[in-house]
Amino acid sequence: MSVPRLIVFDLDFTLWDCGGVWCDCLCPPFRVQEQRIEDATGRLVRLYDDVHAILKHCDDQVISIALASRTEQPGWARELLTHLEITERFAYAEIYPSSKLRHFAALQQASGIAYEDMLFFDDEMRNIDEVGGLGVTSVFVREGLTAELFHASLNRFAEHRRCDPA
């Protein structure tokens, strides 16, 4: 089975929920107590239920993973990743306010991996359309990434590659 060489994840509403808002709408400072992360207003920041298992699967399969997040507060996003103890899992991280096209150009440059060998998850259709136009297999995430969607997408990627004469 053909697997992606790089799997790229968006953050807000894809890997995590920040109390129903984007992470740049939170109000630091962040408080970490008993495995809970809250902003100053009490909004809870949490990974979606299946994210740890998904990241473990990528580790077990030795698939590089990356982040591509368009946020006005990249420092806050990085701080939350640290609090969630997942920063070190990502080989690459493009976290700044810009087009996902710029994020993916930087990821391709840094990794040397062709767009066709990447799989991308995001909750915004405009990003799926833009990045999909590069040749990246792009998957729309409706309400947080689930193991079911992740594994179905791996199968879709493999099927697409099997049918690709290149």
Q: Which helix (H) or strand (E) holds 76?
A: helix 74-83
Q: Which of 58, 61, 42, 52 is nearest to 8 (CA)?
A: 58
Q: Where are the domains of the chain?
A: 6-16+47-163
Residue of 12, 17, 39, 117 marked catalytic: 12
Q: What pTM did the predictor assign?
A: 0.95
**Per-position DSSP letters for 108-149, written without gaps between them:** HHHH---GGGEEEEES-HHHHHHHHTTT-EEEE-SSS--HHH
Per the CB < 8 A criterion, the answer to whether 96 and 112 are in contact is no
The rounded distance, in Å, linking the Cα atoms of 67 and 107 is: 9
Q: Which residues contact 108 (CB under 8 A, 6 or more apart)?
A: 114, 115, 118
Mind listing the pLDDT tens digit of every residue in the chain (166 residues)?
689 999 999 999 999 999 999 999 999 999 998 778 999 999 999 999 999 999 999 999 999 999 999 999 999 999 999 999 999 999 999 999 999 999 999 999 999 999 999 999 999 999 999 999 999 999 999 999 999 999 999 999 998 776 665 5
Residue of 10, 17, 39, 117 marked catalytic: 10
Q: Which helix (H) or strand (E) holds 8?
A: strand 6-9
Q: For this structure, is 12 an active site residue?
A: yes
Top CATH class, 6-16+47-163: alpha beta
